[in-house]
Amino acid sequence: MKNQFLFTGEQRITSTLASGEYLWLAFFGVSNLCTLYKSDVHNPNVKYWDVEIVGDEITSMIEDVTYLYTSLDDSINIGAKIEILSPITITYFIKDVGLTEKAIDLIKDSTFVYFLLPGIDSGINTKIGKYNLSTRTYVETIDLTTVFNAKKIDVDANGILWVVTNNDPTELIKVWYSGTWQYQIYTLS
């Protein structure tokens, strides 16, 4: 038998993240405020925290031992950094003026957070906004000039970024730094 969970007064769920015995649930925003629950993984109706995040949508979430990081659809903020033990402590990554689309995914390494902007608006290609992990300051934009319709981003143990598109056929893009940012497109068939 399947369980049905009702979240009275909330919009649709836009992102989830299971973390041990907890489940983070992000709900679509109303009046530029998203709701974020920290719930029990076995029964999401049991809420430990219920906080508001500035933005129209939380599009993706990742965590480390101290913080939950989110990518956002917002005109001012590209992401948020939330203390896991006390989720009412929220700070934001301010969107650089050159980053006009919403961030749809994010990944981090030990020093930086990378926000993926998909390149689906007319005339805009995929970009990656690079931010300092601890200070939340903008560092640079990695411009993938011939890539469009990106969907997900990841980073490997060597610090190489990997982006996958939602194109047909799907493209896998290897992104690395060698004096300048370089990238190579692999078409998956």
**DSSP states of 100-141:** -SPP-EEEE-SSEEEEEE---STT---EEEEEETTT--EEEE
pLDDT of amino acid 11? 78
- Does 91 score more than 50 pLDDT? yes
Q: Is 2 in the same domain as 71? A: yes
Q: Is 75 in the same domain as 127? A: no
pTM over 0.85: yes
Q: Is 34 in the same domain as 83? A: yes
Query: CA-CA distance, 42 to 39, in Å (whole number)?
Result: 9
Q: Is 6 in the same domain as 78? A: yes
Query: How many domains does one find in the chain?
Result: 2
pLDDT category, 8, cuts 50, 70, 90?
Answer: low
Q: Is 69 in the same domain as 110? A: no
pLDDT category, 1, cuts 50, 70, 90?
Answer: very low
User: What does the pLDDT average to over 111-120?
Assistant: 96
pLDDT category, 103, cuts 50, 70, 90?
Answer: very high
Q: Is 69 in the same domain as 112? A: no
Last residue of a domain, one of 95, 123, 143: 95
Domain hosting residue 71, numbered range = 1-95
Beta carbons within 10 angstroms of residue 37's beta carbon: 24
User: What does the pLDDT average to over 32-53?
Assistant: 93
Q: Is 20 in the same domain as 75? A: yes
Q: Is 112 in the same domain as 145? A: yes
Cα-based angle 62, 2, 7 (whole degrees, multiple of 5): 55
Q: Is 114 in the same domain as 63? A: no
Q: Are 147 and 161 in contact (CB under 8 A)?
A: no
pLDDT of amino acid 5? 58
Q: Is 89 in the same domain as 105? A: no
pLDDT tens-digit series, residues 130-158: 999 999 999 999 999 999 999 999 999 99
Q: Is 16 in the same domain as 56? A: yes
